[in-house]
Amino acid sequence: MKKFPVSVVLDNIRSALNVGAIFRTCDAAGIEKLYLCGITPYPPHNRIPKTALGAVETVRWEYGKNTIETVEKLKEEKKKIISVEVTDNAIEFTDYKFTTPSVLIFGNEINGVGEEILKLSDGIVKIPMFGMKESLNVATTSGIVIYEAVRQIRKLVTK
């Protein structure tokens, strides 16, 4: 199975069903590693398999009690930290130039990515919203942004 130099951090995601769906997306996109942090449910949580459909067995993952410590460790490894969040300085994800290795951070369904993590980020990206709602479900958001990052990085690593 092909793996790309892209990792994903889930910052205090509440729903095990969202986590399972993100496991599946990470498998399909060839993500290097998934980090489950804070209150994010992690295997063997009994609701993750419902939407992961076996991806827990195919995606490398790690649980970290503290998201900030996990992100600091990844920064020390010289990985580019990109938070996905709606902020005044966020740029549209399709305009962002993803580089290798990258780490995508997705935040809590209600509160988003924590402020301290945003400060540690090398970039902040957003999905433009055209309807009445201000955000998408985190599993949907992760699929959209992960695939754009992999699309760009795949071009870099296959040159």
CATH code, 121: 3.40.1280.10
How many domains does the chain fold into?
Answer: 1
pLDDT number for residue 102: 97
Residues 6+ apart with CB under 8 A from 68: 114, 116, 117, 120
Q: Could you tell me which residues are beta bridge partners of residue 37?
A: 11, 64
Count the alpha carbons within 13 Å of 85 in the hemisphere toward its beta carbon. Answer: 28
pLDDT number for residue 158: 82
pLDDT number for residue 135: 87
Q: Is the peptide bond before 41 cis (omega within 30 degrees of 0)?
A: no
Is the alpha carbon torsion for 13, 8, 128, 2 positive or negative? negative
Helix (H) or strand (E) holding 64: strand 61-64
pLDDT number for residue 54: 84
Domain of 142? 4-157
pLDDT number for residue 1: 73
| Percent of the chain that is helix, strand, coil (3-state, to 5) | 35, 25, 40
Per-residue pLDDT of the chain (159 residues; tens, 9 = 90+): 789 999 999 999 999 999 999 999 999 999 999 999 999 999 999 999 999 998 999 999 999 999 999 999 999 999 999 999 999 999 999 999 999 999 999 999 999 999 999 999 999 999 999 999 888 999 999 999 999 999 999 999 886
Q: What is the pTM (predicted TM-score) of this model? A: 0.96
